[in-house]
Structure 1
Amino acid sequence: MLFLSALLLIVAFLTGSAPLGHAVLSRAGVNVRVNNPHNLGVENVLYRVGPQLAAVTALLDAAKGLLAVLMAASLGQPEVTVMAALAAYLGHLNPPRALFGDTPPRGRGNLVLLGVLAGLAVTGALPLWVCALPVLVYAAVAGFFGFVSAATLAGLLAFTLAVAALPLGPAAKLAALGLLVAATWRFKENIGRMLDGTEPRLGEAVPLAGRRSDEVVAAFMIHPMNLENFWSARRFAWLRPLVEKGIVSERSVRQMADSLRPMKIGELHGIRTVDGKSIRCYLLSSPLLPDVFRDNPDLATRRAIEGARLAQELGAEVFGLGAFWSVVGNKGIDVQAAVPELTITNGGAYTSGTIKAAIPGILEHFAAEGRDLKHATAAVVGANGVVAFGIARTIAPQVAKLIMIGRDAERLERTAATLRRAAKDTEIIATTSYDTLKDADLIFTATSDPNPVIFPQHVKSGAWIFDEGRPADVDESVQAIPGVRVIPGGVVRPPGGMTSNIDLQFGEGQVPACLAETLIIAATGEHHRKSLGQQTLTENINFFVEQAEKLGFQVVD
């Protein structure tokens, strides 16, 4: 009997994992990863695939649960039948990778649950009221709160409590509890979204690529710069007092952050271009801290790829890599190769464009205050990078002396040699020492360092500093030096009244230029303009500057 029970449970698991809906949709030419209900909701699946296909796949899912329970009921043991219900649900949630490859579709399994409840009622394994109770609770919670995930969990909680009250063996009661635990784990991301205020409700129109001609959808990947940023997400805020009281160690929090897959933590609303196009942007995050990008680049690349797949599931047309995400996977090339159906950009072109647009104004204001550029010394920090080199190339012919500071001395000297040929009248120095900044009247900085690199001992009175670094390269204490002016760079104000539930640290209604590039690509449909790898084409820089002006994006100076 034990062997037969185990065999029936295995059969129930395999029945639940059978890719029936997947097969139907795939044969119809539908990308199941993009059109799955885990992220998009039933209403959007109906929109994507139509009512007939949606109904067929729904019936097949319910039939899997029903069939698994009916087969187990042939043994005549209610405990085994309830355990088969759990096995079928687990099979649907975690199908063998052999059936789907490395990335199986992630459904909620609500129809499978409905099927197993019907089976438990029909076979008499459980009283009818016990099987009907979770359905009624589901309907009540969904109708009142509008959250499908919360309704499912509430229904399963009622089911678990009802089964616990029945005169059944512990196996059946543990199986009912297992359904609740499995669903809670499946809905952990939805729970996080509810806490963050980003989970869509029933009836709420969720943006999808191509759904409306006047609306486009993008997604952007961010990460916390420090633990303070980590706590700002409401789903993680509960950890802060535990760390402060020593109950949970900071190291444990960091390890947890490393293990978390990308998640949707926010959304930008209210962006509308001059020509009337609405842009919706999901903010995604895998909460890796800056040191992880340096110490474990393979993990960072893997998380970026997972983020791109999530963006695709959410219906985005373009996926932007922000902050340190922009340098992972060969600056986005590997991410694009892994998810070719989605446009990936690291935002480098428009970031360079905002600098290109801002530098003339900065130099003009500098000269207007009686400062002679032809006798001035300028410094560029992070000159090994593409953005900083672009700055150096722009200002070199306009100043008397240019100091280029970077970490790779050999590469820096080659870059300096190139500039010396183009700006023969300018003295150009390549160095790795920050002490030389003390001579600079103008400082342009664009490093990828997670911590400030410019401190009061590096800056003389009256110096102007254009800080393109994110996070900021200039320590706040520099502001106290007499006459010093620190100008943040690469900050853009999108058109319309943008709002966000996440503080992006760029000021109200403002975003980094790399995010703005993501939005511009989505708005214009010029997906081939994406920025990937080390090279940034001049024609793309000019394109983003021109299109930003046409669409109503404003560089903040």
Structure 2
Amino acid sequence: MIPHPPTPGKFAFLVHPRSAVATDMARVWRPLGRIPARTWEYGLRRLPVPPLRLAAVHRRDATTDEPAGWILVVPATPRQLLTEDRGWVLSRVESAIDRAEALGAGIVGLGALTAPATRAGRMLRERPGLAVTTGNAFTAHLTVEALRRLAGAASGSHLAIVGATGSVGSCVVRLLSEEPIASDLTLVSRGGPRLEALGDEVRGSGVAVRTATSMDAVRDADLVLVLTSAADALLGSQHLKRGALVLDDTQPRNTDPRLRSERPDVLVIDGGVAAVPGIDIRGDIGLPRGLAYACLCETMLMSFDGQTTSSTGQADVGHARRMRDAARRFAHLGFTLAEPLSFGRPAAWPDAATATASVPRGV
């Protein structure tokens, strides 16, 4: 296929099947859902499966029915993206970017684990005329908005951030250091100089800051933010105090689904989701219509706004503010914090009186 020249305002966004591989592949073509998970693991590793088109994205204010962008599936499981040799992983992601260029995309967004698997895009080869973004800056902005909504309902003022030194996490920490929402802050990551440096950086904000390398450190937290990049659930019932509020920004999710039945006192909100009533996503991305993931929204906003500079590596506060401002310019299309979901089901923002009693409708 001969690539089209990159088109201003056209974008592509990369996703991959999550933990339930067959379920997500069925979103591309329903019969694919009948293939067992083990077969998918083998087939995606051994066979030359091409990147697949999941959805076309249209603006409702457009004067034509031309798509503004596309959502493409990188044929690799979460475990493969995190554990296979880098050459194989990069070849899968680069192949999807080739497909994006062939469609005429001028900007490509790295969704879910395609960002950490490519070191936030830094391992990808440069392509003239094509910008790449991780989507992490707008995710950080929207995460802070959600934390502010939840902080007022938390039973105390202890916030724990799991995955604090990651691209989104470090940006969230810096945004919060400017306008704190908690008097106690615990930063959790794998450790090392980056964790201690981040802790030292924000200790002057008037907040008591602790650093930790174990999930056990969140057991006293009233509000927990999860920003890890793992193939499986990391946060379970044993890690949470009674009445804790959890914001899970991960895809695939890193909170244990058994929390819904084991801990009715805990409310888990699915983070990183924006309302986009002015965007028509013609395909199943695993969210109700009118909603989109924040990283996808950043890709759209950069494309609509005509931004041509890549945003790879660590998300920074300056770019988060630029994305906030772009969202305001395109407010007629949405790009605002969505009404909450919990494990994919409609929920309600808790208030101080009902925080411990709030559970998703339909549970």
Query: TM-score, normalised to structure 2's length?
Result: 0.81
List aligned pairs for 1:148-167, cutoff 5 A.
Answer: none
Aligned pairs (5 A) from 1:516-531: 516-528=297-309, 530-531=310-311
Partner of 1:43: none
Q: CA deviation at 1:517?
A: 1.0
Match of 2:150 among 344, 356, 362: 362
| Aligned CA distance change for structure 1 residues 230 and 377 (closer, same or farther; 3 Å) | closer
Alignment CA distance shift 1:437-1:539 (3 Å)? closer
| Counterpart position of 1:546 | 325
Residues 400 and 418 of structure 1, relative CA distance in 2, 3 Å threshold: same
- State the one-letter code of the partner of 1:474: T
Consecutive unaligned residues of structure 2, counting only runs of 5 or more, are: 340-363
Report the residue type matching 1:341 in the other structure: G
Relative to structure 1, the CA distance from residue 413 to residue 276 in structure 2 (aligned partners, 3 Å threshold; closer, same or farther) is: farther
Instruction: Tell me the alpha carbon deviations over residues 458-478 of structure 1, each in whole angstroms, 9 at most, x when there is no partner.
Output: 111211111111122222222
Question: Larger % of strand: which?
Answer: 2
C-alpha displacement at 1:252, in angstroms? 4.5
**Is 1:240 equivalent to 2:34 in the alignment?**
yes
**Equivalent residue for 2:23?**
229
Pairwise CA distance, 1:446: 0.7
1:492 to 248, 263, 274: 274
1:408 corresponding residue in structure 2: 191
Question: What is residue 441 of structure 1 aligned with on the other side?
Answer: 222
Shift of 1:385: 0.9
1:33 and 1:269, CA in 2 relative to 1: closer, same or farther beyond 3 A? Answer: closer
The question of whether the paired residues in 2 share the 8 Å contact of 1:493 and 1:510 is answered with yes
1:527–1:494 CA distance, 2 compared to 1 (3 A): farther
2:40 matched residue in structure 1: 253
- Per the TM alignment, residue 342 of structure 1 is displaced from its structure 2 partner at its CA by 1.6
Tell me the matched-pair count.
330
| Aligned mates of 2:110, 2:324 — CA distance in 1 | 19
Letter in 2 for 1:352: A
CA positional deviation for 1:347: 1.0
Deviations 1:428-468 (A, max 9, x none): 22112212222111111111112111111111121111111
Look up the match of 1:34: 3
Cα offset for 1:312? 0.9
Partner of 1:532: 312
1:230: how far off? 4.7
Q: How does 1:370-385 map to 2 (within 5 A)?
A: 371=155, 376-385=157-166
> Cα distance, 1:399 vs. partner?
2.6
**Equivalent residue, structure 1, for 2:86:** 297
Q: Indicate if the aligned counterparts of 1:275 and 1:551 stay in contact, CA closer than 8 A.
A: no
- Give the residue type in structure 2 aligned to 1:408: G
- 8 Å Cα contact 2:51/2:95 also seen in 1: no
The alpha-carbon distance between structure 1 residues 547 and 256, as it changes in their structure 2 partners (threshold 3 A), is same
1:334 match: secondary structure: coil
The partner residue of 1:284 within 40, 47, 72 is 72
For 1:465, the aligned partner's letter is V
Mapped contact 1:465–1:486 kept (Cα < 8 A): yes
RMSD over equivalenced CA pairs, Å: 2.8
- Kept in 2, the 8 Å contact 1:336–1:342? The answer is no
Alignment of 1:392-407 (within 5 A): 392-395=173-176, 397-407=180-190
Partner of 2:115: 326
- Matched residue type, 1:520: L
Aligned to 1:350: 138
Paired position in structure 2 for 1:315:
104
Residues 211-235 of structure 1 deviation map (CA, whole Å, 9 limit, x = unaligned):
xxxxx32111111013233541455
TM-score (structure 1 length as normaliser): 0.54
More helix by share: 1
Unaligned runs of 5+ in 1: 1-31, 36-47, 49-207, 211-215, 244-249
Contact 1:308 1:335 in 2 (8 A): no
Equivalent AA in structure 2 for residue 293 of structure 1: L
Identity fraction in percent: 25
Question: Match for 1:229: what amino acid?
Answer: T
Shift in Å, 1:505: 2.2
Q: CA deviation at 1:387?
A: 1.4
- Judged with a 3 Å threshold, the aligned counterparts in structure 2 of structure 1 residues 231 and 329 are, in CA distance, closer, same or farther, namely closer
Q: Looking at both structures, which has the greater relative contact order when contacts are Cα pairs under 8 Å and sequence separation is at least 6?
A: 2
Residues of 2 paired with 1:282 and 1:388: CA distance?
27
- Partners of 1:275 and 1:399 lie apart in 2 by 46
Report if aligned partners of 1:409, 1:430 keep a CA contact under 8 Å in 2.
Answer: no
Are the counterparts in 2 of residues 261 and 286 from structure 1 also a CA contact under 8 Å? no
Contact 2:16 2:77 in 1 (8 A): yes
Q: Is the deviation greater in 465-474 or in 263-272?
A: 263-272
Separation in structure 2 between the aligned mates of residue 274 and residue 547 of structure 1, nearest angstrom: 18
